[in-house]
């Protein structure tokens, strides 16, 4: 019995050694058959990582994606056949390095900013012009609805304008009180609080109008109508005391930028929702993906516009104390934004808005 066990043990040991030798032979043969492609890809990747791209020949550049796919295939085979760990680790590292060169970002931050401001942002805005018109109609409708509601029943004013920011701006306020909220130094703290409210509220509305676009754009439109209802109520209040033009000028300094940002955000959200509702020849996911990338470019610009609006609100409106001066600044900003979006037609190759 002992002899039989020893014989069996010896046979098992020999079988194990034979299996290891076969695996090593298979691994060596696998490497020898493909190692030339691996070394070729590694040499190209190493030169590119070292910043010596200009020294690459045209053949090297054209061969890079082909070699990448070849080595990726080798990695897949190596995983399935359980080749040695060293070969797997080498191939995984090489494929990862090559992936970043073939599919990774090729533009620096400075280059991306040049493309973004050099036509990418404006192209993305122009691409959603239909949605912008719909969003603009919703904003105008919201303003009219707010005006009509408070004109019919002044109690609606308190529902549309948050009480903690209404301060002296309430139905029944005298002309002198309302005038004091627009000009001079009196009520400066109150004006600052109200300004901060307007900015924070409009920033939230912009973000929400975009984020809710996935629900076929309906919540975005409702949010625009609700937000502009506040505007309509305020316009009605100042109109009652003959100060609507002065109030519009007070608002225009930063409002032409801030409201423009809300319009773009609402249009971007609606663009995503409309693309999902009417995908055309694409699948819903493909249509949403394309619209989402375009809308994301628009939203990056919206954030920048809100920053500009905050600076105008914090400085320009307080420093300029005349209605004409305020309209001049607000009108100039409106012309700059509109001119950039719809008159500036340059679209760089590989633009962010493409």
Selection from 217, 247, 243 nearest residue 230 by Cα: 247
- Tell me if residue 258 falls in helix, strand or coil: helix
Same domain assignment for residues 94 and 206 = no
- Give the model confidence (pLDDT) of 33-81 as tens digits: 788 888 888 988 888 887 776 777 778 878 888 888 888 888 888 777 7
pTM: 0.68
Q: Indicate whether 247 and 151 sit together in one domain.
A: yes
Q: What is the DSSP letter of 50?
A: T
Q: What angle do CA 257, 259, 261 make, to 5 degrees?
A: 70
Domain count, the chain: 2
293-312 pLDDT, tens digit per residue, is 899 999 999 999 998 988 88
pLDDT, tens digit (0-9, with 9 covering 90-100), for 213-263: 878 888 889 999 998 999 999 999 999 999 999 999 999 998 999 999 999
Which domain-ending residue is among 84, 102, 120? Answer: 102
φ/ψ region of 323 (left if φ > 0, alpha if ψ in -120 to 50, else beta) reads alpha
Same domain, yes or no: 250 and 124: yes
296 is in which domain, residue-wise? Answer: 110-342
């Amino acid at each position: 019995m002992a002899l039989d066990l020893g014989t069996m043990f010896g046979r098992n040991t020999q079988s194990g050694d034979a299996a290891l030798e076969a695996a090593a032979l298979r691994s060596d043969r696998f490497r020898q058959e493909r190692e030339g492609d691996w070394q070729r890809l590694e040499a190209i990747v190493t030169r590119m990582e070292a910043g010596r791209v200009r020294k690459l020949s045209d053949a090297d550049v054209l061969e890079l994606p082909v070699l990448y796919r070849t080595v990726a295939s080798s990695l897949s085979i190596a995983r399935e056949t359980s080749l040695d760990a060293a070969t797997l680790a080498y191939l995984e590292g090489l494929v990862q390095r090559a992936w970043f060169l073939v599919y990774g970002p090729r533009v620096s931050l400075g280059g991306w900013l040049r493309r973004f401001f050099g036509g990418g942002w404006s192209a993305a805005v122009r691409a959603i012009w239909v949605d912008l018109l719909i969003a603009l109609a919703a904003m105008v409708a919201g303003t009219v609805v707010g005006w009509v509601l408070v004109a019919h029943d002044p109690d609606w004013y308190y529902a549309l304008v948050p009480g903690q920011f209404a301060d002296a701006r309430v139905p029944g306020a005298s002309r002198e009180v309302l005038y004091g909220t627009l000009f001079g130094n009196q009520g400066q703290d109150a004006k600052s609080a109200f300004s901060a409210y307007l900015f924070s509220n409009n920033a939230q509305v912009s973000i929400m109008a975009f984020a809710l676009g996935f629900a076929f754009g309906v919540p975005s439109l409702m949010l625009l109508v609700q937000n502009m209802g506040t505007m309509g109520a305020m316009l009605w209040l100042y109109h009652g005391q003959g100060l609507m033009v002065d109030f519009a000028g007070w608002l225009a300094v930063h409002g032409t930028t801030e409201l423009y940002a809300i319009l773009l955000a609402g249009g971007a959200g609606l663009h995503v929702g409309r693309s999902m509702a009417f995908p055309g020849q694409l699948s819903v996911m493909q249509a949403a993906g394309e619209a989402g990338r375009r809308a994301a470019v628009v939203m990056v610009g919206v954030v920048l516009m809100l920053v500009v609006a905050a600076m105008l609100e914090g400085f320009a409106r307080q420093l300029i104390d005349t209605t004409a001066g305020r309209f001049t600044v607000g009108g100039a900003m409106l012309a700059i934004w509109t001119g950039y979006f719809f008159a500036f037609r340059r679209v760089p190759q590989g633009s962010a808005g493409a």
